Structure 1
Amino acid sequence: MPGGRLTLEDRRLIAAWLKDGLGYAEIARRLERPTSTISREVARNSGHSGYRAEEASRVTGERARRRRKPPAPAAPAVSRGYDRDPEAVRRFETDFTEMMVETGLPRMMSRVLACLSVSDDGVHTATELAQRLQVSPASISNAVGYLETQAMLKRERDGRRERYVVDEEMPQRVWAESVRANQEWVKIARRGTEVLGTSTPAGARMDDLARFHARINEVMLDDRVAVFVADAVTVLAALLHAGRPLALESLSIALGWSSDRVLEAVRVAVEHPHVAGPVTVVSGGGEYRAVPLVERLTAAQVAALDS
């Protein structure tokens, strides 16, 4: 291929044309290469018997192998004192990476995410990731930028350094981002249906696409509720145990959760009463409290209990 590396066939042609008395410039013109490429090739690979194609190809291959450094193995994950087999951890990290690659995530992004995931604290700086994976800082930067757009990790400031974090809320963030992205598909497909017209093949195709993603969105939203069911029950248990109204900040501190996570759990408990059985959450004055779900009782039952 013009501009690429010389092939064995190229070298055979060079040898034949040299025997025919052609100069370097003419050989270069015929092969569509720079004259300097041909002159270097002949100078480097000519022996006592002159230039021979097979010998030139073998010597060039050996030279390239000598220059090529063997890849350095990734540094082992920090054990934090846990009794683990380092090789088993390394194999799992590789298998985890390959699974993500096979399901569509680019390889470098998969390597970064797997590296963070097998770390017990789920935190690394760019320098640590580059050292662990034996890649350039630029590769880490590109991978982190992509993973952040997919809500698969988040950034934190540690003085002048940036740290990249995979925490327990990552699956919920990824799910929420997936729901948002799918809603964009619905909107653009519906717009395409209007522009193209449902009576046309292209418009009908867009209409099918809009309906398909709308249905997926319904399923995803139902499943998203399921993601927060355990959190909703935990918040209700915390409020019942406290026996008093608690502010959002107090709940966040007590549970060790972010404010967003507490708010999402409360939302599910309120909007989906079946989640927590006979208990729900009410808010007032910036505080939350757990109360009986009286809607489960008839008016007569409530009156009898109040008497």
Structure 2
Amino acid sequence: MPGGRLSHQDRLDIAAGLADGLGYAEIARVLQRPTSTVSREVARNGGPGGYRADHAHYATATRARRRRPVANGGAAAARAVEPRQAYVERFATMMVDGGLPRMASRVLALLYTSDSRTLTAADLVRLLKVSPASISKAIGYLERVGMVYREPDPVRRLQHYVIAEDVWLKAWEVSARTNHNWAETAAEGVELVGRDTPAGERLTQMAEFFERLSEDMSGGAGFQDCLAVLAVLWQADRAPDVASRLGWPVERVVDAATYALKASGQDGAEQTTGQAAVGEA
């Protein structure tokens, strides 16, 4: 509505218009808003080259909260909350820059910085001020890549969401898979256009670059072979002797062996035995 506040969808439309090279007047006609509204919105939030819809929306909301009078001691509480909310958004932006989807990043950042060990879908909707459908889609993605899992609450009939213990290893694996997908897509292009063509040469360089990057991130075949051999040779009762030879704490030896066992798909019984070796040492 002309004269009303810009919604999140309005800001997404502005960002899409800027990306398509539209002028302020054209974007304003699409939104049925004054051109001055669009120009002020863009100028206030990064300019044509740096405008981000999500950032603009939450920055505007933050400015509005700062202007709102707070009674009595509420001002101190508001000042305490706002930096935390801003940190969650910066945390999420960092993960977006690393390749995670925007909403999945915001959910993960909120779970990671929450005082509670778990959050429900209703908690996430309330705290992030988004639709249940957005939360459902983000949780679905995080579950697929193994970064978040569900804990059912049979009493309240709710699903609680918890961060996986190896969440950052999962994030690393997602990045490695993404780079491998880039490499495979570029290689398909080489087959299509021919290696000796100008496009084929560019795609070949791209495929080689991302394949090397993927191998470096995943450790390469040689590294995986080493882990498999270590897992097979691992004997928990020798952990103190290995630690003594390496000059490491026993816990570090057990952690390394546990990682090798998990990476090579060995049975979890060896891990339990390894933990017991730490106690005996």
What is the TM-score with the length of structure 1 in the denominator?
A: 0.46
Report which of the two has the higher share of helix: 2
Report which of the two has the higher share of strand: 1
Larger radius of gyration: 1
What is the TM-score with the length of structure 2 in the denominator?
A: 0.49
